[in-house]
Structure 1
């Protein structure tokens, strides 16, 4: 495991901020990863030379998701608030956020991906929100997925916990393009579609396209966060599901 969870550098003469999840193979979105992503975005967002961000990953998988241990009582309050702040920062970034995905892109990892603007994915990538299988739900995905794909398809992902392939995600509009090399495809799209434009005009275009989404997400995510903290996590089944996962045993649901 590398010491730093995230590799950060500037590419394309400084016009492209590169963020690479660097704890393969799981690339768990834990407190350290959340803090590193948030810090890198905050430190670069107001640079007038910045035209876009590209998030990709080391190893065969984008991310297996969030840290289950950090979802347990005594930990989940701080984790949830910092993660939601990161998601809001991603959605409100003043430049386009591109995401390149291979392998599994699950849970909190998928929420990071869908908070960006455009996803480039391998055809056999796997996008899923398995939280319901652990007795919980995914607050950012509950807010974002119905904004980015047909509601019925979004709800099927959220309610079943079953993943969809990169190819299927492309057919549903969640993924912008499928490619055997998503990073190369994202870089080629940046060079062709973004690099020729004025960075300041691009920022105005992003704001015009996204400001209403940012406000809707801010309002809904606050309400859903309260439901998670005060409602869901006071139930037997939520704690049981998380505990059973960590203990590698079937959960015993009681419906309460």
Structure 2
């Protein structure tokens, strides 16, 4: 087993995180804790603006929970670390964009990990499933998230039968954003990440907080909270140098220079 299951690579304001646990990139408790620390550090580093999560190789993105580790004593309800399973699902206040580059089979907790990203790009050969039903367990996070992301009946079919979706069907139902040939996946992912990294980080933070917090709120309540600057990130944005820079750049007909403050 790889002694370093998580590889990170920093390019400017972008952090690339690669899950590298041969043979299938499954996640055990120790790996999940490492991932949580990686994404916590990403969240707290003011110089990092965008993260990419992908898997090593071209066969597996991630199949989720490592059943072999479970057989050796890893408890399903054990300590997953600061961000919950895979480091992303329960990490509080993560107000920076995360892109999942799905390079291979994406199922179970691996699909839940991908769903924790803000944008999902996929290679054309990949497939998706929630096979937990076949092993007598529940895809807990997916049961919460998936019916909110794709049509209810499609989500329920996946949860209740464990059937597989290819990349084209996943895109058709809105589960993923774009499909690329495998050789182009990381190039396109990095291109998108760089575009986001050049954007306004304080606006991204406000968008992510509003979307997250407003999910279970009535429309008018959420809108009132925005207009009254009751979201911390919105208040920060509207009193920032970047807010003034956006207006100045527009008036001066130039590209803005975002500083994140």
1:92/1:167 CA distance change after superposition, 3 Å: farther
| Higher-Rg member (1/2) | 2
Paired residues for 1:160-175 under 5 Å? 160-175=161-176
Alpha-carbon distance, 1:46 to partner: 2.0
Q: Distance in 2 between matches of 1:83 and 1:52?
A: 20
- Matched residue, 1:151: 152
Could you tell me whether the CA contact under 8 Å between 1:92 and 1:210 is conserved in 2? Answer: no
Find the residue that maps to 1:56 and give its secondary structure: strand
Q: Deviations over 1:100-124 (max 9, x none)?
A: 0122111111111111111100122
Map 1:96-135 → 2, pairs under 5 A: 96-135=97-136
User: 2:61 aligns to what?
Assistant: 62
Q: Distance in 2 between matches of 1:109 and 1:186?
A: 18
Q: Contact 1:51/1:202 (CA < 8 Å) preserved in 2?
A: no
Distance of 1:86 and 1:185 partners within structure 2:
22
Query: Residues 8 and 17 of structure 1 are in contact (CA less than 8 Å); yes or no, is this contact kept in structure 2?
Result: yes
TM-score (norm 2): 0.74
Query: What displacement does 1:133 show?
Result: 0.4
Q: Does the 8 A contact of 2:167 with 2:179 survive in 1?
A: yes
How many angstroms apart in 2 are the aligned matches of 1:84 and 1:146?
Answer: 21
Instruction: Pick the structure with more helix per residue.
Output: 1
Corresponding residue pairs, total: 211
CA RMSD of aligned residues (A): 2.3
Distance in 2 of aligned mates of 1:23 and 1:129:
20
Write the distance in 1 (CA, Å) between the matches of 2:211 and 2:202. Answer: 15
Given the alignment, which residue of 40, 47, 50 partners 1:42? 40
Q: Which has the higher contact order (CA 8 A, sep 6+)?
A: 1
1:186 aligned onto 2:185: no
For residues 154 and 70 of structure 2, the distance between their equivalents in structure 1, rounded to whole angstroms, comes to: 26
| Alignment deviations for residues 38-85 of structure 1 (CA, whole Å, 9 cap, x no partner) | 010111202222221100111121012212255579822215784287
Q: Residues 85 and 196 from structure 1, CA distance in 2 versus in 1: closer, same or farther, beyond 3 angstroms? A: closer
**Preserved CA contact (<8 Å) 1:70 1:79:** no
| Cα pair distance change 1:28/1:84, threshold 3 Å | closer
Q: Is the 8 A contact 2:27 2:64 kept in 1?
A: yes
Q: Which residue in 2 is equivalent to 1:210? A: 212
Query: Which residue pairs with 1:22 in the alignment?
Result: 20
Maintained 8 Å contact 1:120/1:183: no
Compute the TM-score of the two structures, normalised by the length of structure 1: 0.75
CA distance in 1, matches of 2:161, 2:74: 27
- Give yes or no for contact 2:42–2:51 (8 Å, CA) kept in 1: no
